[in-house]
Amino acid sequence: MENLLTIKDLSLADIKELLMITEKLKQEKDRELYLKGKSLGMIFAKSSTRTRVSFETGIYQLGGQGIFLSSQDIQLGRGESIADTAKVLSRYIDGVMIRTFDQHEVEKLATASSIPIINGLTDKYHPCQALADLFTIKEKKGKLNELKLAYVGDGNNMAHSLLLAATKVGMDIAVATPQDYAPQNEVVKIAKRFAQQNGSQVELLTDVKEAAKSADVIYTDVWASMGDEDEAEERKLKFADYQVNQEIMDLANEEVIFMHCLPAHRGEEVTADVIDSRQSVVFDQAENRLHLQKGVMVKLMA
């Protein structure tokens, strides 16, 4: 494992090892030797609260430093090529986390770099979030297989990464989206292949109730992701039936947990009573981004 670009590239052994390192680091008190003197560049072309703060704090706790690079402030934003940026950064620092629009940019950066590249979200994938979510599910349920995750809402970057993450670890996944907002075929095909290899099921649905039936985890995300802002009003109409409310939660298994990568819009994709209920684990989820990403940095940069 040289980079973290998408969960597609990881083996089951990579994922298990990452979750193990994460568990260790979550308990660890003496942790500032792991990445002593190392630097992580953090390129952001989109907003962030969790990813930015958890990576920056994470590398600091491991003895290194994070360097925030708004894509508007570095020469990349004025047309310097990704390849040149990659080659230059490789001479200074020890790893790059990038959040941007196009997944191909992350891949180009990785091809031209001699240092590890970590995908901190693109329009297509959000691997750090989905891996941290596996860690949270394992903490809450004690296992990852023989569980069903129901994802409700937009077939977006989160849906794609959860499809790949769940099927890699043998978890069943049902995805309920409006017809025109289903996850990309290419990703679904890969997830179905993983599911076959690892003994799980993939269901693509338009009926939220059907997806929620006997789920152990109900997961949702915003109706309009970063980059979709101009469609926000139209999406509110199209996604009106794709809200996680108590009625939906009650269709799932008794011990069901509610998950959301955040930021959330109460009253849209989830009701306030659900996200603020005892069934909701969203803040543990947010915390685990810190631990999981420390695991990723140790695995790639130590």
Annotated binding-site positions for L-ornithine: 157, 221, 225-226
CA distances from 16 to 2, 21, 165, 288, 295 (A): 16, 9, 11, 16, 11
- Find out whether 274 and 152 touch, Cβ atoms under 8 Å: no
**Cβ closest to ligand NVA, residue 124 vs residue 168:** 124
289 is catalytic: yes
99 is catalytic: yes
In the bound state, the residue with its beta carbon closest to ligand CP is: 51
Please tell me which residue in 103, 129, 243, 293 is annotated as part of the active site: 129
Which residue numbers belong to the known binding site?
Answer: 48-51, 75, 99, 126-129, 157, 221, 225-226, 261-262, 289
Q: Which residues bind ligand NVA (CB under 6 A)?
A: 121, 156-158, 221-222, 225-226, 261
Burial class for 68, CB neighbours closer than 10 Å (0-12, 13-18, 19+): middle
**Cβ closest to ligand NVA, residue 289 vs residue 294:** 289
DSSP H helical segments within 37-122, as ranges? Answer: 50-61, 82-92, 103-112
In the bound state, the residue with its beta carbon closest to ligand NVA is: 225
Please tell me which residue in 94, 172, 221, 291 is annotated as part of the active site: 221
In degrees and rounded to multiples of 5, residue 260 shows phi and psi of: -155, 135
221 is catalytic: yes
Which residue numbers belong to the known binding site for carbamoyl phosphate?
Answer: 48-51, 75, 99, 126-129, 261-262, 289
* Angle, CA of 88, 117 and 2, to the nearest 5°: 115
Segment contacting ligand CP (CB under 6 A): 10-18, 42-50, 83-91, 227-235? 42-50
Q: Which residues contact residue 26 at a Cβ distance below 8 angstroms, ignoring those fewer than 6 apart?
A: 288, 291
91 is catalytic: no
